[in-house]
Amino acid sequence: MPIHGYLLAIVAAVLWGLLYVLDERLLGAMSIYRLYFLHSVAGVVVAGAVLLAQGEPPASLLRISWPGAGPAWVLTTMAVVALACLAIFASIQALGAGRAAVLEISYPLFVAAFAWLLFRQPVEWPVMLGGVFIFIGSAIIVTWG
């Protein structure tokens, strides 16, 4: 397995950690919807600039269908990411960055469950066991932390 994949995952974890703390501060001054809008604008600007630099024509940026991923999959993904972002912002606002992050980090259990449920991908027992431990550990930290 390529080492750069591991490094990028660690960089992402570091940046998400920083982002949660920055978002907690911003959520004290603005609504979750305004923050979501600002995150979305930043994403559109960065991704659009990169795609344009790679030679994508501007009209292609609005396409919602690709081979193997029709409009229903793309629109469903867009709805899920919007709801997930709003939920985590509301969680950060209600619980603080630390507690929200501890609960949110239990997502590997749900990734494995949805991969099996939606695509019948095999779930290896170490993945499920690790996911259960993460979930239980998160609950313990939030309950008694």
Report pLDDT digits (tens) over 70-111: 888 888 999 999 999 999 999 999 999 988 988 888 888 888
CB atoms closer than 10 angstroms to residue 107: 15
What does the angle CA 44 – CA 38 – CA 83 come to, to the nearest 5 degrees? 85
Structure token pair of residue 89: 């912002």
Give the pLDDT score at 92. Answer: 95
CA distance 119 to 122: 9
Which residue numbers in the chain have pLDDT < 50? Answer: none
CA distance 43 to 78: 13
Give the pLDDT score at 34. Answer: 97
Give the pLDDT score at 134. Answer: 87
Give the pLDDT score at 86. Answer: 96
Give the pLDDT score at 1. Answer: 63
Instruction: Tell me the whole-structure pTM to 2 decimals.
Output: 0.82
